[in-house]
Amino acid sequence: MTSFRTFTELVLARAGALGTEDAFVFLPDDANGSVPQHLTYEQLDADARRIGAWLQERGCGGGQVLLLYPSGLEFIKAFVGCLYAGAVAVPAPLPTEQGRQFARVTGILRDAEARAVLTDAANAPEIAAWLTAENMPHVHCLATDGEAFADAADWREPDLTGENLAFLQYTSGSTSDPKGVMVSHANLLANEAAIQRSVGSDSSSRYGGWLPFYHDMGLIGHILQPLYLGGSGVLMAPVSFLKRPYRWLKMIGDYGVTIGGGPNFAYDLCLRRITDEQLATLDLSTWKAACNGAEPIRVETIRAFTERFAPAGFRPEAFFPCYGMAETTLLVSGTPRGTRPVVLGVDAEALERGELADPREDAPSRTLVSSGIVNEQDFEVRIVDPESFRERAEGQVGEIWVKGDSVASGYWKRPLTNKEIFDAAITGTDGRPDGGGWLRTGDLGVFEDGQLYVTGRLKELIIFAGRNLYPQDIERAVQLTDKAFGIGSGAVFAVETDREHLVVVQEVRPSAVTTDLRTLATGVQALIGREFNIPAGNVLLVRPGTIRKTTSGKIQRTLMRQLFLKGGITPLYEVLEPAVRALVADAVDRPADAVV
């Protein structure tokens, strides 16, 4: 639909055409009795020019600029300000907020080689102190809600092409080794077009959501998509939603939201926390696409949500299961509009072997939810054997490989990884590799009747409430809590019941224990809750030598997970959630070859 070469050109055109119309409405947490904040296209344009001018005056026009903001309109102005400056925006979590992720953001600041940090006045003193402490005094820092820092008249439109980078998306990589996906203007325009085709959006679409602004689904799906369309978005902070999920669904009726969503857990949270009295005040009849992606999609959630919220006008065909990742800018597949989510019951044992088969009586089965279909004009998607690199047939599980204009060229400054991950080649029937250029997603999936089902992860990455967590980050943090824990001798993985559960297996040297094992385990749980904001309901303290490693010393987490599920780990001390205890007990009762 667009003739724009860059997203900068597109936003300038939208601002010129839409002037005094609302681009965004932000709903602050209402605990302070605050009122909705409006940002028109005109205001967005004016502030972005000032920010762009400030960056250009400091020689940051072609460089990377870190954005550290709470959820709010200032972030959007700063992001567009970077587009206007011709700079490469680097959105990251605000490190002064809960969880205090200074270590991660320092890693991003250094890896991205940011020349400037943009923030707001409330956070600027602490951010400036952090830059000084990190010995980065040459990095410029600006509070963009301040007064008269630059004149919009000094701004010059940058000379950009589609190949120029629009932003770096740091959702990959562990804390010690963050990886930024290089999203070009051409990638961004291609994926916004793909989203529009998949979700059926247009300039009358009203987006509404609460996802973090630095998250790919929040940024590309809920902020840049309305700008792309010339539509509008209504936004709130994740904390507002998490405290009172009712506010998100109330927003949908209050503002006539048509498109918006989040990971599966968001729908579960609505089910658990919204009361009958609150339900009676909701109007969800305008909701055309309730996006569900970024973590495994559960049929129980889809069914329960559809049933519970039908009286509020929620339609079954509104659910929009979808699939994508930062490496493809955002969306790869989605459920065609006007159709209900497609589900498929399969035999669990066959699925573990990598094949789809009809469920058998008296045998465990699984119900898969389709992540929708792939539009051929946007992507080529193949299911590939991750060992032989040969393509697998329909109905066979393999790694999902993707090619298309939305696929980024790679991670910032990671040529070796990029060759492996972003330029893989499929081995043909003649044994020869094709021309390459495929993205290896690390996700396992299968096509059946044109529907893409995502069935698991090839990598040991843990996905919790839509967040990507690296086991090595958690293992390292655990091992630093007590001298009795051996460094490099723990395994962290997730197991699944009706939700994800984290399991920590850690070796302990009994002679080095100065307290008792229970205190050690409680300390581990408290640490993981505090540092990573996730529950660690399952901790097993084990004898030295229990953790399996490869000959090169790599932790075999997948093997440890299998051992755990078979009841094959004998702990010195363990604490298990009841659901996980039941899962292990069930597995022990079944023949060994049927174990996941």
Partner 1 sequence: MPVPTTGHTVESLTTWLGERIALYLKRQPAEIDPTVPLAEYGLDSVAAFSLCGDIEEDFDFILEPTAAWDYPTVQALAEHLIKEFDAAKGGAA
Should residue 274 be labelled a site residue for partner 1 when binding is judged by CB under 8 A?
A: no
Should residue 465 be labelled a site residue for partner 1 when binding is judged by CB under 8 A?
A: yes
Instruction: Give the containing element (helix H, strand E) for 349.
Output: helix 348-352
Nearest to 558 by CA among 386, 402, 427: 386
Q: Which of residues 79-138 bind partner 1 (CB under 8 A)?
A: 98
Shortest Cβ 97–partner 1 spacing (Å): 10
- For residue 254, give both structure tokens: 């209050």
Task: In whole angstroms, give the CA distance from residue 278 to residue 169.
Answer: 37
Contact at 8 Å (CB) between 561 and 503? yes
Residue with tokens 């080529």: 380
One of 36, 434, 577, 596 touching partner 1 (CB under 8 A): 577
Should residue 477 be labelled a site residue for partner 1 when binding is judged by CB under 8 A?
A: no
Nearest to 221 by CA among 330, 302, 118: 330
**Which residue intervals of 96-152 are DSSP H helices?**
102-112, 124-133
One of 207, 210, 265, 287 touching partner 1 (CB under 8 A): 265
Nearest to 210 by CA among 244, 254, 168: 244
Shortest Cβ 461–partner 1 spacing (Å): 18
Nearer to partner 1, 161 or 497 (CB): 497
Shortest Cβ 529–partner 1 spacing (Å): 5
| Residues binding partner 1: number (CB under 8 A) | 25
CA distances from 185 to 10, 74, 95, 168, 556 (A): 10, 22, 27, 11, 39
Shortest Cβ 535–partner 1 spacing (Å): 4
One of 159, 272, 276, 432 touching partner 1 (CB under 8 A): 272
Q: Which of residues 8-47 bind partner 1 (CB under 8 A)?
A: 31
Shortest Cβ 522–partner 1 spacing (Å): 5
CA 55 and chain centroid, separation: 29
Amino acid in position 187: N
Shortest Cβ 496–partner 1 spacing (Å): 14
Nearer to partner 1, 528 or 540 (CB): 528
Shortest Cβ 151–partner 1 spacing (Å): 40
One of 77, 104, 288, 501 touching partner 1 (CB under 8 A): 501
Nearer to partner 1, 335 or 538 (CB): 538
Choose one: 68-76, 88-96, 171-179, 267-275; the region binding partner 1 (CB under 8 A). 267-275
Query: How much is the CA Rg of the chain, to the nearest whole Å?
Result: 24
Task: In whole angstroms, give the CA distance from residue 443 to residue 277.
Answer: 41
Shortest Cβ 241–partner 1 spacing (Å): 9
- Which residues lie below 8 Å from residue 146, measured CB to CB, with a gap of 6+? 121
Our CA dihedral for 92, 96, 102, 104, rounded to 10 degrees, sits at: -30
Choose one: 131-139, 265-273, 358-366, 369-377; the region binding partner 1 (CB under 8 A). 265-273
One of 38, 110, 273, 554 touching partner 1 (CB under 8 A): 273
Q: Is the dihedral of CA 143, 147, 152, 156 positive or negative?
A: negative
Task: In whole angstroms, give the CA distance from residue 300 to residue 233.
Answer: 29
Nearer to partner 1, 13 or 572 (CB): 572
Q: Which of residues 222-251 bind partner 1 (CB under 8 A)?
A: 239, 242-244
- For residue 191, give both structure tokens: 């994926």
At residue 478, the 3 state secondary structure works out as helix
Q: Which of residues 507-566 bind partner 1 (CB under 8 A)?
A: 522, 525-526, 528-530, 533-537
CA 501 and chain centroid, separation: 18
Q: Which of residues 322-381 bind partner 1 (CB under 8 A)?
A: none
Shortest Cβ 31–partner 1 spacing (Å): 6
Task: In whole angstroms, give the CA distance from residue 403 to residue 380.
Answer: 5
Nearer to partner 1, 232 or 525 (CB): 525
Nearest to 467 by CA among 236, 263, 327: 263
Shortest Cβ 59–partner 1 spacing (Å): 40
Shortest Cβ 118–partner 1 spacing (Å): 26
Nearer to partner 1, 13 or 271 (CB): 271
Contact at 8 Å (CB) between 276 and 304? no
Q: Enumerate binding residues for partner 1 (CB under 8 A).
A: 31, 98, 239, 242-244, 265, 269, 272-273, 465, 501, 522, 525-526, 528-530, 533-537, 575, 577
